[in-house]
Structures are given as structure tokens and as C-alpha cells.
Chain A
């Protein structure tokens, strides 16, 4: 009996998305190129690498987070990651001054940011996550409260800071692919690769976790341990992408839900690659629009959150209507 699925066969879908993503990369590298190719390709190549990496990390972290929370309208940012990143940036500039911060070894700063974000989330999980579903909800609630606390603290510091320094802070808080350090890219790529291997091997367990806590326990999955492990994985991915380019909140929500729409399946071995490809495609075309059509007048997060917001509303309204 032929299954009455509306979506394309997975192989076709992945090949198609892969082709589109590759095309968007080529377009991004070549459109409007004037002058020395070796310079342009290196310059834009770094940006492309950053976008691929960040898109991949955000797509994966959002899908994982939604799987363990059994909720498709949450993103890891609910745990206060973005806010913590803001706070770290603000405190650094406030305490040391923008000149000192700019003089930092970028690898050191990156290391500190990632370590702080992962440590924060790990402590929160250890403290609060008892293993029950209520525990997971409590964890998210406390994450939101911490997010508000961090935001208020950085808001306060930004008000009392020297106005020139404030501009520096503000600039750092918009996601941007224009100031990515090539050295950091290599380190991040390694981290993300290592995490991906773990996640790929756990894909079967993830499928089971998506059934919900009771069903997962019934099927013999150590729910508490697996969820803890995935939460830590998510924090690493979010920390890396945030430390690289800054907070891109809405983006994950958008690409994860687009991926669910595209592949009518529960299998993470399909959802994860599709989400990653969608993420790369969206980031590339977004940046292309930003740089070539809008002439750099804005940050990528503005484009993504504008379009993402519209798409997301459409998805929600359509689902409510069904």
C-alpha cells in the first residue's frame, strides 16, 4: 500500500536542499565581486564557513531542544543563553573598558564565553532537573527567570556605562557574520563536529525521546540521563554559535519548523540534516539580501527575525486552523 505522504522522498529532498544550499553559497561568493578573486574568495569564504557552522549548530540545537522538551515552539534561548551572553559582553566592557576587551586574544575570550555558558547551564541542570516532566518545566521556568535577571543586570550596566563604551557593547550584541575570527572558526568546527558524532550515534534514542517521557521509559531508555546529556549538548552548540556571531534567537525556531514541514517523519537522521541544510540556505540568502539588496544597512538578525516572524506566524495559524 502506498503511503499517502505529501512530502518528497527523503533522498530527493536532501539532494534538492543540498543543491540549493550549494547554489546559494556559490551565489554569495560571486555576486557583485569586483577586484582580486583571491581576496574576495578568502574574505567571503570565511563568512561562508561561519554561516555554515552557525546555521548547522543552531538548527541542531533547536531540534534537539524541541525533542527533549516535546514542544515545537521553544528554542534553547528560553534558558537564558542570549541574556547570559549579553551580560558577559557588558560586564567585560564595563569592568575592563572596550580598548582592553578589543585587545584580548579572541581565542581566550571565546573560550571564556563558551565555558561560562556551558557551566551556567550545567549547574542549572544539576540543581533542578529531577527527571520528571515537571522538573523539565521547572528548569525552563527558572531559565526564563535567570534570563530576565541577566537582561536587567546588563540593562543596568549599560545605563551607567560611558556612552562611547555603550556603543561598543551594543555593536557586539547584534548577530553579525562580518567580524568572525578565522582561528575561532577552526576551533568551533572541531567542537561542533565532535558533538555531531555523539548526536548522530544517539539518533535512535532521540527518536524514542520524542515520544515523551513515559513512552521513553517504557521502551527502556534512561530518560533522565539521556535528557541531561542532550541538554549539555544543546548548551555547547548554542554557546559556540552565540560566541561566534552573537545571539540569533528566532532563527532556530524558524528552520526547525520548516524542517518538520518538509520531512513528514519522526526520524532524527532525516530531520537533523534537513534542518541544517535549511538553516544554511536561509542564512546564505538572508546575508545575500542584506549585503547586495540592502547594501549592508542592517544586521542579519533583523532580516531573519522579520522574515522568520512572518513565516512562524503563518505556521502557527495554519496549525491552529487544522
Chain B
């Protein structure tokens, strides 16, 4: 369980996260949605200790993220941000192997190798595993980075816009993989998503943010409604139910 209590964060005068309190239960896929600048990424960064928590507290499984040693937390929670530029020249396999660092501190065991091979297979990266990251397309690189955090094998996986750069086929495959990881291995996957229909079709729970606050939260059927979408994004949407999933049409 992740508990956020009265967390706030401001950049200069602007409050980006405004006194947020929320409890995210363990297990399942949770999507964070909201307009640009609503504070989704900042909240995710605070939960994952990439940003300090100037006010309030954040605990993961009872561990305060600001005081728990980083290497302990790294075995419970992993985070992937949006832009992942690096100067080091790495192959895909090297990058994925780094996911085992919290467990083996760089000396890979047989078990680690097993994890690495499995993740490479899951993400269909076999063909490019030996290639350097700077020789890959944006989508392949994105999948390699996701593979690294999945290889970390933590109970909580936080991903900031993981579908960036992915084509439809790979976006669907990625969401299915998250679903499967959550269902089979009892992991908690927390995603920042821009595509509300992906959020609707694959999440157990959706959290909608507006102006640094939690505006709405609940299962997809409560969130994907014309009223909530108007409130969060300020656009009119028609909601259709197709094969038991709610789909929002907001293109006109």
C-alpha cells in the first residue's frame, strides 16, 4: 500500500501538488490521468523519491520514502521517468542487467541471469538485445527501459507515460504485459497515461488530477463519464460501451 498524506510541492509561487492525500492499495493497475500540468508526474516523482517531499509524508509498505535507505526502497519500488537520455554506451542487455543492481550490486547471479532472459523474452527484445541503445528506434529504446524496471522485480512499478513512442501494436502489448504482471505476480503498476481509453480498458482504478489535487478516483466505470472528463480535461466526450469497456470519443 502506498500512502500519501498532505503532500505539497511548489515550483516558485506555483503549487504543483496541492495538499494531496491518497491511499493506493497493493495489487492491480492504477492509472493517473489529468491535463498537462495537473501534477501527475510530480506526484509520481515524490512517491518514488526522485523529488524531495517538502510537506507531508509518503510511505510505501509503511516505509517513509524520504528516510528509508535508497537501496532498501529500490527492492520494493521502481520508477521510470519520461525522458531517458544517457551518455554511456550501453547494449539493451547491459541496460536490463542494471535492473538487478539493487539485488546483486553488479555481480550477476544465475537467478539474475534468469530474470534478465525472461524480461527480454516478455518484451520481445531478443533480436535487439545485443544492440547499442543509440542504434535503436524510440519505441525499441522505450521498451528496453521498461524492461530494466521490470527486471528490478519490485512490488511497485511506477511508470511515467510508458506508452510514449510506442506504436499501436506495442502500446497494446505493453498494457497487456502490465495487466499480466499485475495479475500473475501480484504487482502494483502505477502509470501516468495520456490516453484515457487505454486507462479505461486496462486499469483497475483511475485517479484523475486537476490543478495539483486529486479530482476524482475510482474504477473506470465511475471515472470515464462525460461529467468527469469535462471536469478534468474541459472537453466534451461521448462515452460508448464496447465489449464491456468504456470508450470515450472526444475527437470532435
Contact = CB atoms under 8 A, between A and B. Distances in A.
Nearest to A268: B88
A1 B71 contact: no
Contact of B71 (A2, A212, A220, A265): A220
Contacts of B90: 266
Interface string B87-104: 111110010001101100
B81 A220 contact: no
B98 A215 contact: yes
Interface in B1-54: 48-50
Interface string A59-71: 0000000110011
Interface string B60-82: 00000000011111110011110
Interface residues of B, number: 36
Nearest to B100: A219
B149 interface: yes
A43 B246 CA distance: 84
B94 A220 contact: no
A107 interface: no
B106 A220 contact: no
A205 to B, nearest CB: 8
Contacts of B71: 220-222
B49 A219 contact: no
Contacts of A208: 98, 101, 106
A106 interface: no
B102 A210 contact: no
A181 interface: no
A217 B70 contact: yes
Interface in B127-169: 129-132, 148-149, 152
A220 B91 contact: no
Contact of B78 (A1, A204, A218): A218
A1 B84 contact: no
Contacts of B252: none
A1 B86 contact: no
Contact of B101 (A1, A70, A220): A220
A4 interface: yes
Contacts of A72: 87
28 contacts: A1-B129, A1-B130, A4-B130, A67-B88, A72-B87, A204-B105, A204-B106, A207-B88, A207-B106, A208-B98, A210-B87, A212-B84, A212-B86, A214-B50, A215-B98, A215-B148, A218-B48, A218-B80, A218-B149, A218-B152, A219-B102, A219-B152, A220-B70, A220-B71, A220-B73, A222-B71, A223-B70, A266-B88
